[in-house]
């Protein structure tokens, strides 16, 4: 690929990945605001739980409402709506003076996260050539982890700004939201969506900028070939016999990203570190180390995802997670656990996740479904992902306090073993194939078998 084409593609993907940055920022920012909103709104434990999880419920709603508009109005317009909602949520939650208003605006932010969690990877997958798709979609995961780190850091900087500190923490998100909206205006619509809508000239112009004119012509005819007749009832088709294999693989990959425990660490790390008898300041510092390792190891995945493929990364990462979870379960079952060993094992677990399940899950969900059903099929998998995230975040504190860390990590370890078997037996390698080739391989093949 020539430098100008490469730069165009990188720029456009980076703009879409800003959606990932806001996703990471918005999910993590609340951790620093919790102690202050708790006092301001006089929240008991139950109300605090609801106030925090209102965002995750919003995510589920956001994914559910975005599939159809993405197919009808386009990927770009749907992303623009999410940028606006991020802005509204930042302004509304930062200025709320009563609890229900605060919850409504956090829920609105959740809708924006839900939309971005679906549209950013989808848009990047649809605009990328096969040889670079894994890496470019992984930019979105890189942006998510940068967003998480930025939220931790900005909370830390704003904590001493007085009584309104939590308002500033939430308001900060307005800046990247404006940047996201303004830069989206300049990116082209997804060429695959354009072909679907019969806008061939526009699709050709974008594809030509990415792959040159002769390849662009070939791509348009491949995309047209893959569209076929539009289904009158997409949901029914998604769960029909010829689609079910690929749909279930996507759903299972999405669920396992969450039930192998990542957000028990991302959302509750300070609480876990505190259980090793360390002070709060040191627990926060160790949490920052978690964020840094998460970022560094995502870079490893970006480097290797298109070279060695998705499946080897998934296998190696899940193996690393399994080993560290069982070792953590053992460490937590001992009466005096060594803080340094727990930290080392948690960092190894995060490193393994960041180099595998973190980015590969999103890449995989964005590339395995056929062009004509991608919006709806992705939304099914991602709704399931957010629901699993919601459940794990809800039950983990109780697991930790009643069963103890040992059993909680043991359960996640068992999930990793199950996932490992599933990856080896069922997950196809998608590296280097165009979305249309994948469709032929994963869906049309089974359709032919059926006939
Ligand atoms: C997951 C999030 C998680 C993040 C951590 C993402 O891929 O979907 O649930 O918090 O990675 O880096």
pLDDT digits (tens, 9 = 90+) for 417-445: 999 999 999 999 999 988 888 888 888 55
Residue 413 has pLDDT above 50, yes or no: yes
Q: Is the pLDDT of residue 50 over 60?
A: yes
pLDDT, position 58: 96
Quick: pLDDT tens for 62-83: 999 988 888 899 999 999 999 9
Who wins on pLDDT, 112 or 211? 112
Q: pLDDT tens digits for 295-320? A: 999 999 999 999 999 999 999 999 99
Mean pLDDT lowest for which of 7-11, 118-122, 236-240, 327-331? 236-240
pLDDT for 385: 96
Given the CA of residue 117, which atom of ligand 1 is nearest to it? 8
What's the pLDDT at 152?
A: 80
* Average pLDDT, integer, range 277-305: 85
pLDDT exceeds cutoff 60 at 451: no
Task: Give the residue from 443, 64, 450, 445 showing the smallest Cα distance to 238.
Answer: 443
pLDDT of residue 351: 98
Atom of ligand 1 nearest to the CA of 266: 10
Q: Share the mean pLDDT of the chain.
A: 89
Model pLDDT, residue 67: 81
206 or 53, which is more confident?
A: 206
Q: Which of 22-31, 87-96, 184-193 is the least confident region?
A: 22-31
Specify the higher pLDDT residue, 188 or 266: 188
- pLDDT above 60: residue 255: yes
The predicted structure's pLDDT at residue 231 = 62
With cut-offs at 50, 70 and 90, classify the pLDDT of residue 401.
confident
Between residues 376 and 98, the one the model is more confident about: 98
Q: Is the pLDDT of residue 142 over 90?
A: yes
Mutate to test the pocket of ligand 1, among 23, 24, 390 (most ligand atoms within 8 A of CB): 24
Of 353, 328, 331, the closest CA to residue 266 belongs to 353
How many Å lie between the centroid of ligand 1 and the Cα of residue 231? 32
Please check whether residue 324 is in contact with residue 348, taking contact to mean a CB–CB distance below 8 angstroms: yes
Q: CA-to-CA distance for 429 and 172, rounded, in angstroms? A: 40
The yes-or-no verdict on residue 270 having pLDDT over 90 is no
Residues touching ligand 1 (Cβ under 6 Å) are 141, 144-145, 257, 262-263, 266, 294, 358, 389
User: Once rounded to an integer, what is the mean pLDDT over residues 357-382?
Assistant: 91
Of the two residues 147 and 226, the one the predictor is more confident about is 147
What Cα–Cα distance (Å) separates residue 43 from each residue in 35, 36, 52, 393, 397? 10, 10, 11, 19, 17
Of all residues in the chain, what percent carry a pLDDT higher than 90? 58
Half-sphere exposure of 365 (CA within 13 A, CB side): 34
Residue 111 to residue 104: CA distance in whole angstroms: 11
SS (H, E, C) the chain: CCHHHHHHHHHHHHHHHHHHHHHHHHHHHHHHHHHHHHHHCCCCHHHHHHHHHHHHHHHHHHHHHHHHHHHHCCHHHHHHHHHHHHHHHHHHHHHCCCHHHHHHHHHHHHHHHHHHHHHHHHHHHHHCCHHHHHHHHHHHHHHHHHHHHHHHHHHHHHCCCCCCHHHHHHHCCHHHHHHHHHHHCCCCCCHHHHHHCCCHHHHHHHHHHHHCHHHHHHHHHHHHHHHCCCCCCHHHHHCCHHHHHHHHHHHHHHHHHHHCCHHHHHHHHHHHHHCCCCCHHHHHHHHHHHHHHHHHHHHHHHHHCCCCCHHHHHHHHHHHHHHHHHHHHHHHHCCCCCHHHHHHHHHHHHHHHHCCHHHHHHHHHHHCCCHHHHHHHHHHHHHHHHHHHHHHHHHHHHHHHHHCHHHHHHHHHHHHHHHHHHHHHHCCCCCCCCHHHHHHHHHHHHHHHHC
For CA atoms 245, 366, 419, 403, give the dihedral sign.
negative
Q: Whose CA is nearest to atom 8 of ligand 1?
A: 358
Check pLDDT > 80 for residue 226: no
**Mean pLDDT on 171-194:** 96
How confident is the model at residue 447, as a pLDDT?
44
Given a contact cutoff of 8 angstroms between Cβ atoms, the answer to whether 188 and 91 are in contact is no
pLDDT value, residue 228: 65
């Amino acid at each position: 690929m020539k430098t100008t084409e490469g730069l165009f593609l990188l720029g456009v993907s980076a703009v879409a990945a800003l959606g990932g940055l806001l996703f990471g920022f918005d999910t993590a920012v609340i951790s620093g605001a919790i102690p202050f909103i708790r006092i301001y709104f006089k929240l008991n434990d139950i109300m605090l739980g609801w106030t925090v999880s209102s965002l995750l419920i919003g995510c589920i709603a956001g994914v559910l409402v975005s599939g159809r508009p993405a197919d009808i109005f386009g990927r770009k317009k749907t992303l623009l709506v999410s940028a606006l909602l991020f802005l509204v949520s930042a302004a509304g939650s930062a200025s709320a003076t009563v609890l229900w208003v605060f919850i409504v605006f956090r829920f609105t932010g959740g809708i924006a996260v839900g939309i971005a969690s679906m549209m950013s990877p989808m848009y990047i997958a649809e605009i990328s050539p096969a040889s670079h798709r894994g890496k470019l979609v992984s930019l979105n995961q890189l942006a998510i982890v940068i967003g998480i780190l930025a939220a931790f850091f900005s909370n830390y900087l704003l904590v001493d700004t007085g009584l309104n500190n939590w308002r500033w923490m939430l308001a900060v998100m307005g800046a990247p939201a404006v940047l996201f909206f303004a830069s989206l205006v300049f990116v082209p619509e997804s060429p695959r969506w354009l072909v679907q809508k019969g806008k061939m000239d526009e699709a050709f112009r974008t594809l030509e900028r990415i792959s040159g004119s002769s390849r662009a012509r070939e791509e348009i005819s491949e995309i047209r070939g893959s569209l076929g007749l539009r289904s009158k009832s997409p949901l029914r088709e998604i769960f029909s016999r010829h689609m079910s294999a690929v749909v279930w693989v996507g759903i299972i990959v999405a669920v396992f990203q969450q039930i192998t425990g990542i957000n028990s660490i991302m959302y509750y790390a300070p609480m876990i570190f505190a259980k090793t008898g360390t002070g709060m300041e040191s627990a926060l510092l160790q949490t920052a180390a978690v964020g840094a390792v998460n970022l560094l190891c995502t870079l490893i995945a970006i480097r290797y995802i298109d070279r060695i493929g998705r499946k080897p990364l998934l296998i190696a990462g899940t193996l690393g997670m399994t080993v560290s979870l069982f070792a953590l379960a053992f460490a937590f079952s001992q009466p005096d656990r060594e803080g340094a060993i727990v930290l080392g094992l948690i960092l190894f677990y995060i490193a393994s996740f960041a180099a595998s399940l973190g980015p590969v899950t999103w890449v995989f969900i964005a590339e395995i479904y056929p062009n004509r059903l991608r919006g709806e099929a992705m939304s099914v998998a991602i709704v399931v992902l957010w629901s699993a995230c919601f459940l794990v975040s809800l039950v983990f504190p109780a697991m930790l306090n009643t069963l103890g860390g040992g059993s909680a990590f043991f359960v996640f370890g068992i999930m990793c073993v199950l996932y490992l078997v599933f990856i080896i037996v069922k997950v196809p390698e998608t590296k280097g194939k165009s979305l249309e080739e994948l469709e032929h391989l994963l869906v049309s093949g089974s359709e032919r078998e059926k006939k």
